[in-house]
Amino acid sequence: MFTVTLITNPAMILDPALVRALRDAMGGGEAVWLDRNGAAEFAVPKLPKSLTEIHESLSAEGVDMIAQPSAGRRKKLLLADMDSTMIQQECIDELAAAAGIGPQVSEITARAMNGELDFDGALKARVALLKGLPERVIGDVLAARITMMPGGATLVATMKAHGAYAALVSGGFTAFTEAVATKLGFDEHRANTLHIENGELTGTVAEPILGRAAKVAALDDLSARLKITDADVLAIGDGANDLGMLTRAHLGVAVHAKPVVQAEAPHAINHGDLTALLFAQGYAKAEFVIR
């Protein structure tokens, strides 16, 4: 048995007629409304071969669809990317903007996240451009430029309230993940470490660099520690360096992601906020731990 979940942006209304029409076309059971305005689901005995076309049609209407096996939907581990996933910015781009080299660095970031450049090399190249930037700028950027992605704190709090473990795994920097993990309630965080000497960035980063392979390694390490399997994992991210963990986790979701990531990830959320990932697990809005 499979479950099809339909979700809209919180500012929109999910049309009951659309839900009924899709349910009938797919031979589904009675629709269950997880949120009377924005999320509904129904069970189907099998998924149609035209799932991709259905997904594209719904997306054009501002509706996200997650179709997955019904069993084991509530996950025990949340493995989340940070930049452009749990926060609305790319931290290295914000540091570069503060240093007056924003366009030069953001162009490299965009290409790396879309899989056009080697992640490790692109990260080293961008960090090198930040040489001499005062360490205090990190705190300034955190205070003035970094904002949380809507629904993120509620996602973490709700999953943790139901026994899940939450880990922030970023190709960014520990100077940012520490603050974001604390603010959003993550149990732990992993990222790269910027080298700093005499109060300034040296233009280098500690190795080995936490990239695509390291995110998969984190999934393996945490799963072993928690005594769970890939079937128990929700992994979310937006960049090409997230694809390893997204394709391994049984609920791997590209969140407002780059085109190459959407093309390869098992699932995608393009319209809803991060609470869409709770609806995908079968949580009703009444069960949310709002933060």
User: Which residues have a catalytic role annotated?
Assistant: 81, 83
Q: State the helix-helix crossing angle for 91-99 and 102-113, rounded to 10 degrees.
A: 160
User: Which of 227, 270, 275, 278 minimizes the C-alpha distance to 251?
Assistant: 278
CA torsion sign, 219 to 188 to 256 to 76? positive
Cα separations (Å) of 183 from 9, 227, 274, 277? 24, 27, 16, 19
> Which H or E run contains 187?
none
**Residue tagged 């451009």 (tokens):** 129
Q: What is the C-alpha to C-alpha distance for residues 63 and 284, in angstroms, rounded to an integer?
A: 17
Q: What is the largest CA-CA distance in the chain?
A: 66
